[in-house]
Amino acid sequence: MGKSSTLNVGAGAFVLLGFAALAFLTTQTTNHGIHLGTRGSFYAITAKFDNIGDLKVGAPVSMAGVDVGRVTRIDLDTKQFKAVVSMQLDSKYNDIPSDSDASIYTQGLLGGKFIGLTAGGADTYLKNNDQIDFTQSAIVLENLIGQLVANFSNKGSDSSGSSGSSGSSGSSGSAPTPAPSPKPEKVK
Amino acid sequence: MIGELGRSLVGALGGLGDIGLFLLRIVADTPRALLRFDLIAKQVFNSGALSLVIIMLSGLFVGMVLGLQGFELLQRFGSEEALGTAAAIGLLRELSPVITALLFAGRAGTALASEIGLMRATDQLSAMEMMAVDPISRVVVPRFLGGVIAMPLLAAIFSMIGLYGAQLIGVQMMGVDSGSFWSQMQGAVELRDINEGLVKSAMFGIACSLIAVYQGYYADPTAEGVGLATTRTVVTSAVVVLFLDYLVTSAFL
Amino acid sequence: MGPSGTGKTTLLRLITGQLRPLGGSLVVAGQDMCTVRGPALYALRKRMGMLFQNGALLTDLSVFENVAFPLREHTDLPERLIRLIVLTKLQAVGLRGAAPLMPSELSGGMARRVALARAIVMDPEILIYDEPFVGLDPISLGMILRLVRRLNDTLGLTSIVVSHDVHEIIQVADRVYLLSGGRAVASGTPDELEKNSSDVVKQFVGGLPDGPVPFHYPGPDYFGELLQRDLRQSA
């Protein structure tokens, strides 16, 4: 009977659509799924950080405010106990100096974290599977406050005080002053 | 005056009991009705597939409004990238199940109530009884099951289209970073949120379908009776949905 | 038959089991209607056919499917056999050619005839007609009348017709029961009824506007009511 089979097909198609929507929601809105791929060709870069804050997979990687790639994986190096961040950079940006440094910045006031690359001066460029050696971790609020408190108490007891002493952790190199995080300008 | 109040309270209690018993009858008849899969498929089509247009349109617009409002609000705190999270949580937990249920009550619920009410008014249900066919099994249960199956699926579709709408505004129009939009969402949304939405839409599906078939089955066999059944379906469904929404929300928190 | 509101339809619904009697006794085909329930009731109903006032065809099924409905629901007959039976019944009511139509495309008389075909499709022993002549044009009326009588004779049925169309009933009935005020006030063959001298019967059969069923709805004295108003106005 033609009429009822059209109906059945319609009902079946609807149910299929519903489940597809459910599958989409489960995989695309939570951490439990596979994410739809991106077009274009990329090369992979890694960088190690003492503390990545709440940097997430999928966060942008930018240079001079321009999006050049994305964070693809976050792992923990169990020997050095550092965070290993893997990113993919767009192949057309293939002349980034190999001594560039990667820092973790915050988008806006309460936004998520992203990685900013600052160019170095080397003649060689980053290639597939290279590692960025110069990194700067995320500014963690608690550590900052701890530093501040330590600074104040050190000023009270003169001599060797200042930064670099107790309470500061999570920064390789000197602890940066709590300057406002640069907000990358969006190039429309 | 107290007497009046008491009387209407007793009446309401009686009505609640009636519909509860009706639900039991339907549930008891379900195994037998499942054998008539073709009837159920037809009702899934009527309640679900035919509601797609309004659900998808509404989902799109609601998502877009979420995108606009969310963006403007988050922009005040410099957190536009959280737009994905805001839209997803808002849709998955609250907006999709509730709005879908209200739209369902308006479109599919009224269709069910008036269909069954008309069958009552033209003696079709009595004729079935006379032909020794149980009208509950043949007419009511497939329509009830069709609604219960269709509702969660419609809500999921609403969420999906809504997210697309929010993304359309936020990412394409307002320039929120696409990666941040999705990655922040993925970090914040848990399966628990999706579950909450599913549980809600399943319960709303049961409630709206039950109210619709009940009103139709016990409608006055006149033209006004059918009309009254239709309006009662929408009003009762809306109140019950919002009440259940509160219950389930507090249960999940 | 009987005047409006005497309980003809109620009696029908008692016979079919849609209402349950609170007292007294009612035996249909050997079944006591006061106690029969569930499966026994459904089994009894399969032996009965009923024609509703407006046909009560299922609006989402075609004419053919409507007539086939009881067969599909209650039997496992193969499709070929169902088709044969349905077409035969439709032929008996003169609507075999209308098999593919939908109920919305039928006239009132045609819908009623299709409903009749559906009522006899399971070869019942009892056929019940609820006001079958209401609202029909003379031609359709003649068709239904002829069918009622013919089916009764050829199929060996017991037919119960509820109606207040005296003229029509008298042409086809073997036995007439006149209900008034909730009781049977007369019974007999159509001839006996016409010769009946009781006032109630005479008023009904003759269509007299006044008699045991009064013309005036009960109320206060006429002149008294008029004068009262006058007095009040002049006072």
Q: What is the pLDDT of residues C184-201, one digit of tens each?
A: 888 888 888 778 778 878
Q: Positive or negative, the Cα torsion across C170, C173, C177, C180?
A: negative
The pLDDT assigned to C200 comes to: 78
State the smallest CA–CA distance between residue C13 and chain B in angstroms: 10
Of B119, B126, B131, the CB nearest to C69: B131
What is the band of A169 on the pLDDT scale with cuts at 50, 70, 90? very low
Count other Cβ atoms within 10 Å, centred on residue A77: 12
Query: What domains can you pick out in chain C, each with its CATH number?
Result: 8-234 (3.40.50.300)
For A76-131, the pLDDT digits (tens) are: 988 888 889 998 888 888 888 888 889 998 876 666 788 888 888 888 888 888 88
Comparing A57-61, A176-180, B215-219, C92-96, which segment has the lowest mean pLDDT?
Answer: A176-180
**DSSP state, residue C47:** T
- Which range has highest mean pLDDT (A20-34, A44-58, B60-74)? B60-74
* Closest Cα in chain C to B119: C58
Q: How far is A149 from chain B (nearest CA, A)?
A: 27
- Residue in B67, B168, B178, B165 with CA at minimum distance from that of residue A39: B178
Contact A169, A180 (CB under 8 A): no
pLDDT of C232 reads: 65
Query: Beta strand pairing status for A60-63 and A134-136?
Result: unpaired
B 164-203 near A (Cβ less than 8 A): 175, 177, 179-180, 182-187, 189-191, 194, 198
Work out the average pLDDT over B121-148.
Answer: 91
Q: B49 at the A interface (CB within 8 A)?
A: yes
Residue of chain B minimizing CA distance to C72:
B133
| Strand duo A101-106 + A134-136: pairing | parallel
pLDDT of residue A176: 43
Going by pLDDT thresholds of 50, 70 and 90, the confidence category of residue B111 is: very high
Residue that wins the pLDDT comparison between B61 and C194: B61
Cβ neighbors of A181 (< 8 A, separation 6 or more) are A105, A106, A139
Domain boundaries, chain A: 42-136, 140-181
Residues from chain A that touch B45, judged by Cβ atoms under 8 A, are 7-8, 10-11, 14
Can you list the alpha helix ranges (DSSP code H) found in B76-189? 83-89, 96-104, 110-121, 124-130, 135, 141-167, 178-188
Q: What's the pLDDT tens digit per position in B173-212? A: 888 888 888 888 887 888 889 999 999 999 999 999 999 9
**H helix count then E strand count, chain B:** 12, 0
Which subunits count as partners of chain B given 3+ CB pairs below 8 Å? A, C
Q: Which of C73, C104, C122 to mutate to test the interface with B (most CBs of B within 10 A)?
A: C73
- Whether A163 shows a pLDDT value over 60: the answer reads no
Q: What pLDDT does A34 receive?
A: 54
pLDDT of B191 = 85
Residues of chain C with confidence (pLDDT) below 70 = 230-235
Question: Looking up tokens 């005040």, which residue turns up?
Answer: B76
- Identify the weakest region by mean pLDDT among A2-11, B23-32, B35-44, B78-87: A2-11
Query: A166 falls in which pLDDT band (50, 70, 90)?
Result: very low
Mean pLDDT of B113-119: 94
- The pLDDT value given to residue A33: 58
What pLDDT does C192 receive?
Answer: 83
Tell me the shortest Cα–Cα distance from C39 to chain B, in angstroms.
Answer: 9
- Chain C nearest-CA distance from B103, in A, is 25
Which of A30, A70, A113 should be substituted to probe chain B, the one whose Cβ sees the most B Cβ atoms within 10 Å? A30
Nearest to C12 by CA among C156, C179, C172: C179
Query: pTM value?
Result: 0.75
The verdict on ipTM greater than 0.85 is no
pLDDT for C231 equals 65
Residues of B within 8 A of A7 (CB-CB) are 41-42, 45
What does the domain layout of chain B look like in residue ranges? Answer: 2-252
